[in-house]
């Protein structure tokens, strides 16, 4: 299996990037060291991908999308213009983003994109849908198949259609008990009314 090295006009060529021979990387793309791009994917012009990311099969990113370090984007995900992923975001298989709230085939609306921000450490479950114009909080967990239409607080677990909060999760991914403590890693949290939960140091 041959790998093709990614050239960018923004950064020097990085020898630690792997791009499968069936995938395409456009000009004017920056890809951090250690990132791997697998079969049949397309990274469009103007994108910035961080270090140590894993981009699965049949993924489309961009144009002009920013993805942080150590993100995992599973098979069949399209990350459209207007979406930003911070560090360590996990996108499950076939997770869906949108970027226009009221699309019509016969009306061009690329000038009306709504920004979507997925913050550090969040997990988007398989087949979930994230409607544009919202923010997913740090270490939030979106259940498989959920349809997210409003902002999600930090560490919140949301499920269903439309998605509703069903509890809280630790940065390690385990459910928190009623005292907002994690039995697995012993982390403790408190409610930060403006954003969800924050960890007690």
Straight-line distance from the first to the last Cα atom of the chain, in angstroms, rounded to the nearest whole number: 47
Domain assignment present for 194: no
CB 55 within 8 A of CB 72: no
Paired tokens of 68 = 């942080």
Q: Report, as an integer, the average pLDDT of 175-200.
A: 95
At 136, is the pLDDT very low, low, confident or very high (cuts 50, 70, 90)? very high
Domain assignment present for 140: yes
Q: Report, as an integer, the average pLDDT of 123-145.
A: 98
Domain assignment present for 138: yes
Task: State residue 11's pLDDT score.
Answer: 41
pTM: 0.92
Question: How many domains, in total, are found in the chain?
Answer: 1
Domain assignment present for 47: yes
Domain assignment present for 193: no
Domain assignment present for 200: no
Task: State residue 15's pLDDT score.
Answer: 65
| Cα separation values, 200 from 67, 74, 84, 155, Å | 28, 32, 28, 13
Domain assignment present for 162: yes
- CATH number of the domain to which 134 belongs: 2.160.10.10
- Portion of the chain with pLDDT greater than 90, in percent: 90
Domain assignment present for 201: no
Which structural domain range is residue 24 located in? 18-101+112-176
- Backbone φ and ψ for 50, nearest 5 degrees, come out as -75, -170
């Amino acid at each position: 299996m041959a790998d093709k090295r990614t050239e960018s006009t923004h950064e020097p060529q990085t020898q630690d990037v792997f791009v499968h021979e069936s995938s395409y990387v456009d000009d004017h793309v920056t890809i951090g060291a250690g990132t791997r791009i697998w079969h049949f994917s397309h990274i469009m012009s103007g994108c910035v991908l961080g270090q140590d990311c894993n981009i699965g099969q049949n993924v489309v990113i961009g144009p002009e999308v920013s993805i942080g370090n150590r993100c995992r984007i599973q098979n069949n995900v399209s990350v459209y213009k207007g979406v930003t992923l911070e560090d360590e975001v996990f996108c499950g298989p076939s997770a869906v983003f949108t970027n226009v709230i009221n699309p019509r085939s016969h009306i061009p609306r690329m000038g009306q994109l709504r920004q979507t921000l997925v913050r550090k450490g969040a997990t988007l479950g398989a087949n979930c849908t994230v409607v544009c114009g919202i923010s997913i909080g740090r270490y939030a967990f979106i259940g498989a198949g959920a349809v997210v239409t409003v902002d999600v607080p930090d560490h919140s677990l949301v499920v269903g259609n439309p998605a509703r909060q069903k509890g809280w999760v630790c940065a390690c991914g385990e459910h928190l008990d009623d005292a907002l403590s994690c039995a697995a890693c012993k982390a403790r949290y408190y409610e930060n009314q403006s954003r969800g939960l924050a960890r007690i140091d």
